[in-house]
A and B are shown apart, each in its own frame.
Chain A
């Protein structure tokens, strides 16, 4: 029940208002200095309790939850502590007058409306991203032209560490409207490679060698089985395509550098050891008429 002290609004000028505020009992309305003190102390207690609870949550759940999930719960509990403190201590302060509260609210709305369109859009996108969860911290994603590992997801932005180690902050609105690829979203991913061999080389033997390498390579998944086949009879070479599945967690980058540095050198060495070569681009020229050269002697 909110009771409004009419005396608080009978002050007709600034001096009488100030003298009323500085009166022995009331600050604004029926709010007393003790109530203000209780309000302030409770906020401090809520703040400290939030820190203590956050410390406990970190110790108890840091190995069970992902960092963004833990951050979310820590932020939530801290906000809850503050809200609880306000709910307990604020009702007496309502006597300060509904008009003041309404003014503050209207002012806040006005500030948001004028200056915070982008901020509001980012916040709404942040809520949508939290609901949809297209990625989580630790995932390797591409959003627009940015590639990198997600470091944190806040309500307003997604922070990514790109492959060069650069801190990139992408506003959530931008993430929400762009194509997002999560290279870590599924447990396995397929990689395609293409190798050219000479026309004179035995393609069956090349396929057998490559398949053997993939069978022996522990990170190339047994199922789905790798596929190795002739994909193209190109100008200078016979193209052999390799399709192989890997655990996404292991090959968690977009440029597949770990695969290129391990599989391709092994394939090249094994093919060369079997006498199968990767040819240079080449072209045979045929002339319709025999070229005749005359040599004049003096």
Chain B
């Protein structure tokens, strides 16, 4: 389903149906997914449709700007590193590229969303929450439902730290599509209360294609490379 479409689209999966018929007077986009149907007519459309996974913070309404992944607790002795694989939920973006503009035509998801609060109600952030098991080898999830996060955790503190969640700023999320949808991130732990997370801009595997982010399509300026400072702990 992911890819670029210059002509008509006709995709029917287990839970998704997407159609684009350009032969009509007004080209018509139809999407059926999760008991929801979206129909849009496109005026004089001669551009390209791109379907790719996007950062999972837009549905059902854009309440959160952070993705929080909870996982079974891992204890890291001081000065050690650990690389593990986690799953994160996916949202799928349909983009209309025409006349030098990238327009977000549709966003939908096969995974259920859940929100959480990281930190206190007065100084914390609302996050899109997801629970994942911890994998030591790369898992192979349904690429329409979940992606794989390759997370490198490094404990720079002088004490053993328990880690059970990672929070990422959605502005720093860079997804890459191949056989799976992947991103690679890092977490540096400075103390039991403070850690910094970030997502790398390089593809996790050679040959993977970078996905268009929602913030890029909406021309929202973001500061790259600042990551997110977890000041309420990682346990």
Distance in angstroms from B2 CB to nearest chain A CB is 25
B129 at the interface (CB under 8 A from A): yes
Instruction: Please state if B126 and A187 are interface contacts (CB–CB under 8 Å).
Output: yes
Cβ proximity bits A182-194 to B, threshold 8 Å, 1 near / 0 not: 0001111110000
Provide the main secondary structure of the chain A interface.
Answer: loop
Q: Which residue of B lies closest to A217 (CB)?
A: B114
The reply on A247 being an interface residue by CB < 8 A is yes
Contact yes or no, B126 A249, CB < 8 A:
yes
B125 to chain A: which residues have CB within 8 Å?
Answer: 187
Docked CA distance A189–B122 (Å): 10
Instruction: Give the number of residues in A that approach B within 8 Å (Cβ atoms).
Output: 18
Question: Is A49 an interface residue when CB atoms closer than 8 A count as contact?
Answer: no
Contacts of A188 in B (CB 8 A): 117, 121, 124, 126
- B73 close to A (CB within 8 Å): no
CB-CB contacts of A141-177 with B at 8 A, as 1s and 0s?
Answer: 0000000000000000000000000000000000000
A55 to chain B, nearest CB (A): 19
- Beyond A187-B126, A250-B63, whether A245 also contacts B121 by CB under 8 A is yes
Docked CA distance A87–B196 (Å)? 51
| CB of A38 within 8 Å of the partner chain | no
Q: Write out, one digit per residue, whether chain B residues 119-132 have a CB within 8 A of any chain A CB (1) or not (0).
A: 00110111001000
Q: Does A275 make an interface contact (CB < 8 A)?
A: no
**A112 CB to nearest chain B CB (Å):** 39
Report the separation of the CA atoms of residues A190 and B129 in the bound assembly, to the nearest whole angstrom: 18
| A224, CB-defined interface residue at 8 Å | yes
Collect the chain B residues with CB atoms within 8 Å of residue A245's CB. Answer: 117, 121
Query: A187-B124, A187-B125 known; A218 and B116 CB under 8 Å?
Result: no
**Is A130 on the interface with B (CB-CB < 8 A)?**
no
Tell me, in angstroms, the Cα distance from A187 to B115 when the chains sit together: 12
Are the C-beta atoms of B113 and A221 separated by less than 8 Å? Answer: no
Q: Taking the nearest CB of chain B, how far is it from the CB of A266, in angstroms?
A: 15
User: Once the chains are docked, how many angstroms separate the CA of A218 from the CA of B121?
Assistant: 18
B122 touches A186 (CB 8 A): yes
Whether, in the assembled complex, B7 has its beta carbon less than 8 Å from a beta carbon of chain A, the answer is no
Main secondary structure of the interface of B (DSSP, over half): loop
Question: Are A247 and B63 in contact, with the CB atoms below 8 A?
Answer: yes
Whether A221 contacts B115 in the complex (CB less than 8 A), given A247-B63, A249-B63, A250-B61, comes out as: yes
Interface membership of chain A positions 207-226, coded 1 if the CB is closer than 8 angstroms to chain B and 0 otherwise: 00000000000110111100
A-facing mask of B94-125, CB < 8 A → 1, else 0?
Answer: 00000000000000000011111110011011
- The reply to whether B116 and A222 form a contact with Cβ atoms under 8 Å apart is yes
CB neighbours of A222 from chain B (8 A): 70, 114-116, 129
- What number of B residues sit within 8 Å (CB to CB) of A? 20
Residue B60 interfacial (CB < 8 Å): yes
A247 partner, pick from B70, B115, B118, B221, beta carbons under 8 A: B115
Whole-angstrom CA separation of A63 from B60 in the bound complex: 21
Residue of A nearest to B129 (CB): A222
CA distance A190 to B122 in the complex (A): 12
Nearest A residue to B112 via CB reads A218
B73 to chain A, nearest CB (A): 15
Residue of B nearest to A250 (CB): B63
A222-B114 Cα distance, complex, nearest whole Å: 7
Closest to B125 in A: A187
Over the window 29-47 of chain A, the binary record of Cβ atoms lying under 8 Å from chain B Cβ atoms (1 yes, 0 no) is: 0000000000000000000
**Cα–Cα distance between A189 and B126 once the two chains are bound (Å):** 11
A245 to B60, CA, bound (A): 18
| Binary CB contact string for chain B from 59 to 72 against chain A (1 if under 8 A, 0 otherwise) | 01101100000100
Instruction: Please indicate the chain B residues that have their CB under 8 angstroms from the CB of A224 in the complex.
Output: 117
Q: Which residues of the partner chain B approach A247 to less than 8 Å between Cβ atoms? A: 63-64, 115, 117, 126
| Alpha-carbon distance between A224 and B114 when the two chains are bound, in angstroms | 13
B129: chain A residues at CB < 8 Å are 222-223
Contacts A188-B124, A221-B116, A222-B70 given; 10 further ones with Cβ under 8 A? A187-B122, A187-B125, A187-B126, A188-B117, A188-B126, A221-B126, A222-B115, A222-B129, A223-B116, A249-B63
Closest 3 pairs between A and B when the two form their complex, measured CB to CB: A222-B116, A188-B121, A186-B121
23 of the cross-chain contacts (CB-CB < 8 Å) are: A63-B220, A64-B221, A185-B122, A186-B122, A187-B121, A187-B122, A187-B125, A188-B124, A189-B121, A218-B60, A218-B112, A218-B114, A221-B126, A222-B115, A223-B117, A223-B118, A223-B129, A224-B117, A245-B117, A245-B121, A247-B63, A249-B63, A250-B63
